[in-house]
């Protein structure tokens, strides 16, 4: 996973090079939301600075977000390749 602190300079560098950078959030989707057929479960062992005790995260498929992410990625790539 790329931390936010590392992502922001990377995004800025790509934009300076003329590349398009887009972040899309999928509400209610958890880590691993795009992995097909992965049951939703809680992982108490995962580091999470926003959780109590900095531990715990939900992981698993979120089918609606998964399908939206696939469509959004295809649309983004089509737009970029058409340039």
What are phi and psi for residue 27, nearest 5 degrees?
A: -55, 145
- Please give the pLDDT value at position 1: 45
Per-residue pLDDT of the chain (83 residues; tens, 9 = 90+): 445 556 678 889 989 998 888 889 999 999 999 999 999 999 999 999 989 999 999 999 999 999 999 999 999 899 888 87
What are the angstrom distances between the C-alpha of 55 and each of 5, 6, 11? Answer: 20, 21, 28
**d(Cα 44, Cα 81) in Å, to the nearest integer?**
41
Segments of 1-83 assigned E as strands? 41-47, 55-59
pTM, two decimals, is 0.74
């Amino acid at each position: 996973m790329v931390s936010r602190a590392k992502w922001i300079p990377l995004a800025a560098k790509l934009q300076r090079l003329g590349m398009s950078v887009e972040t899309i959030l999928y509400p209610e989707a958890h880590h691993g939301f795009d992995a097909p057929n992965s049951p939703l479960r809680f992982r108490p062992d995962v580091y999470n600075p926003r959780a109590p005790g900095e531990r715990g995260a939900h992981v698993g498929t979120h089918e609606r977000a998964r399908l939206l992410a696939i469509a959004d990625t295809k649309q983004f790539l089509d737009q970029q390749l058409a340039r």
